[in-house]
Amino acid sequence: MHDITPHDRWQQAYIAEEDERSPFHRLEKDRNNYSHAVYNYYVHPEWDAFGSSTLYIKVLYADYLEGYAILELIGEWNDCLHNDIMYLKRKVIDYMLPEGIHKFILICENVLNFHGSDDCYYEEWQEEALEEGGWICFINTLRHVTEEMEDTRLQFFVHFGEAYNNIVWRPQKPKWLFKTVEAIVYRGVAQLRSG
């Protein structure tokens, strides 16, 4: 895991540490020191800690005009033991919502496990995003992670699953990923309303 780095091809357009509106603004890190770990496995120092002991994040892009952010995650998402959603909501999302971010794309291909608890923070997050016409989407979740999320009934608050997997996003620009995911979200909402 120590050699898996967050996507860095968009850094010419956005760096969270340089964004005054980012929850990670002015975060200083030692890029030579591997101090964060998921259990016994160190993660690359480019990943940012937000309070969880098993899950790390990188804000890859934020567009305040269109109101969306793209975040990449690595590790184990454990709401049951570590209340990771509380840390994510309070330390990251609660800083982004007042700045006009209401559409969230979370890249979950490096989330190795998900252990759910209750859905209160997801419901709160969804309600706050919906107030401004927003949504939450997890893309490229592993099959067993999708099943674990469904068991926790996250599908009532977050868009994820087969329609949002296998998105080849790395060679694309952030706006392409946003427009692609947004189209899938709106197509799914339209199908629910008509069905």
Mean pLDDT of the chain: 93
Instruction: Report the CATH architecture of 16-194.
Output: 2-Layer Sandwich (3.30)
Which pLDDT does position 33 carry in this prediction?
A: 76
At residue 195 the predicted structure's pLDDT band, cuts being 50, 70 and 90, is: low
Which pLDDT does position 41 carry in this prediction?
A: 84
pLDDT at 183 over 60: yes
Write down the domain spans for the chain. Answer: 16-194
pLDDT at 2 over 90: no
Question: Would you list the DSSP string of 134-192?
Answer: -EEEEES--HHHHHHHHHTTGGGTSB-SGGGSS---TTS-HHHHHHHHHHHHHHHHHHH
At residue 28 the predicted structure's pLDDT band, cuts being 50, 70 and 90, is: confident
pLDDT at 120 over 60: yes
CA distances from 95 to 80, 89, 92, 188 (A): 24, 9, 5, 28
Which pLDDT does position 193 carry in this prediction?
A: 60
Mean pLDDT of 14-23: 96
At residue 38 the predicted structure's pLDDT band, cuts being 50, 70 and 90, is: confident
Higher pLDDT, 80 or 3: 80
